[in-house]
Each structure stands twice: as structure tokens, then as C-alpha cells.
Amino acid sequence: MRIAPRTFWAAKKRTPSKRAVRDAELLAEIERVFREKYGVYAARKVHAQLNREGIRVAGCTVERLMRQKGLQGLRRGRRPRTTIAAASPSPADLVDRRFTADQPNQLWVADMGPATSRTRRDRTCPSFRPRSSISSHSLYRAFGGSGSGRLGRFARRFLR
């Protein structure tokens, strides 16, 4: 990237911003509290401790500075286990990653992905709750419901 020399030297000579100066002061206080509490406190507790000491600072600022410095508090319990290693080696690749066949029924390939019982709509729309089965009354109403006429007789016969 090309930058004009005048712009470069202007940026070098510029004094630090108010935020940068305040961040440097706060980072020293955050590290002090973090060390005093044996590296156990996370951002929420460090923020509370600083406010108890009279150092007014926002929680998001503490989170940002701790993240920049790489400071993390201890988590209770175990960390979530996301990958479970196979007990035995995976089966041999019988098709050698060739998914084409010369004739019908020579090569069958299946994708064994996770099976989910819920649809995306169930997770995103809290007001939508799928019904396990349709009620007989609503089915009767859907087919004509009044009892007179072809649809009503069909619905009565269907719902017996």
C-alpha cells in the first residue's frame, strides 16, 4: 500500500488519542486486579471490582481490553467437548474418492449427516409450534364440517 510521505510523518508525530491514553491507564488497573485475584476473575468480575474501587469504566471496555491483552478468567466446570475422537480407525475408503460409475448399480454412495427432528422454522419463530397430530375436529372442519353434503358425509366416514 502506498502512502504519501506527508501523511506518514503526520501520523507518526500525532499525539495519542484520549481513548488510547485512557485505555493504557485502564489496562494497568485491569492487569493489577487480574493478578491480585490470581487470574481467576473474568471481565464481569474485574469490571465490578474496578467500580467498587471507584474507577468508573464500562463493562464492554473491560471486555475489549482483556481480549486485546489475552486475559481470560477461569470457567467453572468442564469446557464443552465438541469433538469425540474415534475409538478405532475409520473404515477404509473403498471408492478411493472416485464417485463415478461406469454402469448402473456399480457404486452406491450415501451421506451420513446428523439427523435433526426440528426444522429451521421451529428454532427461528418462537410462536410456531408444530402439532404432533391434527385434531379430529379440525380435520372434520377442513372437509366441509357441516355434516350435510358430500364433503361432510365423507369426513364423518373418514373420522370413524
For 52-98, write each residue's pLDDT tens digit. 999 999 999 999 999 999 999 988 887 777 777 767 777 777 777 77
Backbone φ and ψ for 52, nearest 5 degrees, come out as: -65, -35
Inside any domain, residue 60 = yes
Inside any domain, residue 53 = yes
pLDDT attached to residue 51: 96
The rounded distance, in Å, linking the Cα atoms of 96 and 58 is 57
- Among 69, 93, 108, the domain boundary falls at 69
Inside any domain, residue 5 = no
Mean pLDDT score across all residues of the chain = 78
pLDDT attached to residue 78: 78
Inside any domain, residue 114 = no
Residue of higher predicted confidence among 114 and 2: 2
- Among 69, 84, 113, the domain boundary falls at 69
pLDDT attached to residue 39: 93
pLDDT attached to residue 21: 96
Residue of higher predicted confidence among 148 and 35: 35
pLDDT attached to residue 98: 73
Which has the minimum average pLDDT: 6-15, 28-37, 79-88?
A: 79-88
List, in order, residues 6 or more apart from 50 with CB less than 8 Å away: 26, 29, 30, 33, 57, 62
Residue 139 has pLDDT above 60, yes or no: no
Q: What residue ranges in the chain does DSSP mark as E strands?
A: none
pLDDT attached to residue 62: 97
Inside any domain, residue 59 = yes
Q: 157: domain range?
A: 134-160
* Count of domains observed in the chain: 2
Residue 15 has pLDDT above 70, yes or no: yes
Going by C-alpha positions, the residue among 57, 85, 62 that lies closest to residue 72 is 62
Give the residue-averaged pLDDT of 2-26: 94
Inside any domain, residue 94 = no
Percent of the chain with pLDDT over 90: 44
Inside any domain, residue 38 = yes
Inside any domain, residue 83 = no
